Structure 1
Amino acid sequence: MGYFRIIGLLTVVFAGIVTFSPQTYASAFIDIFDKGMPVYEAIPLKEFQESGRVHTQQPLADEALSYELTLPKVWRETKSFGYSLSQDIFTDIGRYIGPVKFNKANSYIVVQALDVGLQASAKTMAAAHFMNNGFTVQGAHDFSRNDVETLHVEVSKGESYIVRSRFIINGGRLVMMSYYLPATSWNEERDLQFRVVRSFKLLNEVEAKIESAKTHEFWDVSSFKYPAVWTLEPGEAPTFDHMNVMLLNFDGDIKKRQNLVVKGRISVDLISRYVMPSLEDALVDQIDLMVSQGIVMKRKKEKFDAPVWPEVFQNASASVYEVLDSYAPDQKMELWVVGAQALGYYYVFSMVTPTRDEDFMLWGENTEALQYIIEHTVPGEEW
C-alpha cells in the first residue's frame, strides 16, 4: 500500500471521527481491532536480527520497565529519562534516532511509561490515549489483553508521521513504544518499522501491586479480590448451597452515604452443583433475577471480549445484552452474565454497566474490574 493511499485512507477515517463524541471515537477504535493491521511483506527476520544491534534498558531502576529492542547499527540512542512515573502524563524512558536523510526528516523512536495501577488493559489504555489526543488510527492488533499494536498518523512540526506503536501493561505500568516514520519515507522504511516494533519486548513479567485491592472470603469455599474503590454489600444470609455479594462502583461521598450515584454493579454468586442442575440453568436464573429487579432485556450482543478465567475453572460461558435499567432509564446499558464451574460450585458473575458508546471510560473501568475479580477468584475445598 503506497504512502498516498495510506494518507488518503486515514484522511477519510479522520473526517468521520472528528464528528463523533469522545465515547463513540473510543468505541470506533475498539472496533478497529476486528480489522487488524495493514499487511505487507517484511524484512526476513534472520536478516534483520543479524544486521541489527540489541538495545536493553532498565529505566528508573524499575524491573517492570526493563525492555529490549533491535535496531539497525546506524541508529543511535539519545538519553531522555524522566525522574519518576506519573498517573496522568507519560514519562520518557528511552529515545532513539535514525540516520540523517537527504531532504527528509529523520525517523525516531520514543519509549514512554505511565503508572496505571490495577484496572487497565492495553486495549482500553490505547483507546484512551488516541481519544485524548485525537489521533487517526489506521489499524490495531491485540496480541493479548496486556499487549497491543497500533498504526496511526500524527503531525509534528509540519511533518506527517506514520506511527507504529506497542502498548504493553506490566506491573501496573503502561509502556508505550512508538516508531515515528516520516510519511515521505513510508515505502522504503515500512518493513524496517514493522520489524523494529515487533522486536520490542519487556524483559520481566511483574504482577501489579495489590495494595489497592481487598479480599472477600466465602467461608472456606472460595475467595476473590476486588478493587478497593468498589464497595461490597453483603447479600442474603449465606448457606453452603448459595452465597452472594454485590459490588458497587459509587460516585459520591461513600463514607457519609451522600449524593451517591451507582456507576456500575457486579453480583457474585456461588451456587452448589447439588441444588442446581447445570451452569446454564444457573445463568438463566440470574437473568430472570435481574429482570425481576428492573432490567429490561433488549438485544443480545454478538461481539465482545469474554473475560478470561483461571485454568482451574471449566465450561466458561459469557453473554452480553443491551438492556434498559430502571435505575438509569436515560442511559444505554449492558448486562454481562458470565459463569464457570470449579469443584462443587457454579460461579456466576453479572454486571450492569453503561455501554462503551454511552461512557467509554466508565465502561472500561467496569469491565476491567470484572476481569480483575474473575482473575483473582480462588476456589477452596470441595463440599
Structure 2
Amino acid sequence: MLSAEKNERLTRVGPGTPMGELLRRYWWPVATHDMATRIPVKRRLLGEDLVLYRDGSGTVGLLAEQCPHRRAALWLGCTEEEGLRCGYHGWRFDADGRCLEQPGEPADSTFKDRIRATAYPVQELGGLVFAYLGPLPAPELPRYDLFVWEDAWRDIGHAELPCNFVQIMENSVDPYHVEWLHGRYGNFLREIGGKAAPLPVVSKKHVKVAFEVFEHGILKRRVLEGHTEEDEDWKVGHPLVFPHMLRVGAAGLATFQIRVPIDDENTWHVWYQTYRPEGGAPAQETIPTYEVPLFDERGEYLRDYVDGQDIVAWITQGRISDRTKEHLGRSDLGVILLRKLYAEQMDAVARGEDPLCTYREPHDVIDLPMEKDKFGSAMAFRQLWTRESSVRYSPIKEEVLQLFGDPVPTW
C-alpha cells in the first residue's frame, strides 16, 4: 500500500505537482489528425484547457483556452489564412501566440506587440497531433517505429476514461490479470452468453514473469504453461514505454496503447494499431479513426471483449485508486517497480535532469523490442486482436484480415 501523501504525488498531474512536472517533459498525443481542422476544438491535457485548430495555410496551433483580452474561450473563434481570431472582439493570434491584429485599437498602436496568448509547440506524426507543455527547449519528438513505418496500414481508436492514468499504466506490468480477467472471467462471460468454446490464447497459466528497467522503460517477460524460456514471450518480451505507453503485438500487427492524462481523474486512451504483413502493405490513403464505446445498449459497461474487461477493471478502482487500502503480493512486483520508476524520475526532474526517454538529438527511428510469435502463434494473436480488442470497432477490421490472408476465427 501507499501512504495518502505518496498516492497524491503519484497521481496529481497539474502544473507544479511532482508528477505534473515530470510528465511535462514529454510530447503527448493531444488529438488525432482529423480533429485538427478549420473549426477550433477544445482539448484538455495535464489539467490545462486548450484550443486546437488548423488555419487556412495548414498550420496547426495549440493555445490556452482563454483569450488574453477579456478571457473568452478561443474555441469561440474562427480560423483565418494565418492564425485564430477570437470570436468575442476579433483579436487574432498565430500558432506561436503572437497577437497579429487588434480590431478596435488605433491603427498606429503597438499594443498588439506586447500581447501574447499562451501557445504550445505541436507536431504531427503518424496520424496523431503531439503537444509539448513543458519548459523550453523542447526535446525531440520520439520517432518510435510504429509512428514512422512507411509500409504499414494504421488505424486509431480512442476513448475518454473516467480514471487516473496511473492505474491504467499499472495494468501494463500486471501479467497475471490476463489468465484471470481475460481467461477465467472472459470465458465465464462467453459461457453464460452461450458461446461454446473458451478463448484459448488468454487462458494459459503464467509459470514465470520478470521485469527489468531498460533504456525505453520496463521490459516485461513471461513463460506460459507449456512454453519455455526459449519462447519469445521470455527471450524478447515487450515494453512499457515510459511514461505512458504499452507496446503489444506479434508478427505483422503491433499496437501502442497510449494513456494520455486529461487531468487527475480522466484519461484519453488511444489504441494505435499498425498492420505490416511480410513484404509490407500497399499504400493507405488515409488513417481511419474511431471511438471505442464504453457502454452497451442497456447503459452497462461493455465487458465481452479483452479491452472492455481492462477498461472496467481500471474504472471500477475509482477516479483515483485509493492505494492506502490495497494489499500487494509477490505477483505485483511489476506494479511496485513502475511506481519506483515514477518516483525516481520525478526526483530526477526536481534535480534539473532530463528524465528517462528524453531525446535531445534528431533521429530517424527508435526501434522497440517485440515478440514475433505472441503466445506461441502470431496468427492466433492476430485473430484474437481483430475480434477481442478495440479493433473490433475499426472500420477496416475485415480488410485487415484480408491483408494477412488469415482465416476467420471459429471461436
TM-score range, shorter chain: under 0.3
TM normalised by structure 2 equals 0.24
**Greater RCO (Cα-Cα under 8 Å, separation 6 or more):** 2
Higher strand share: 1
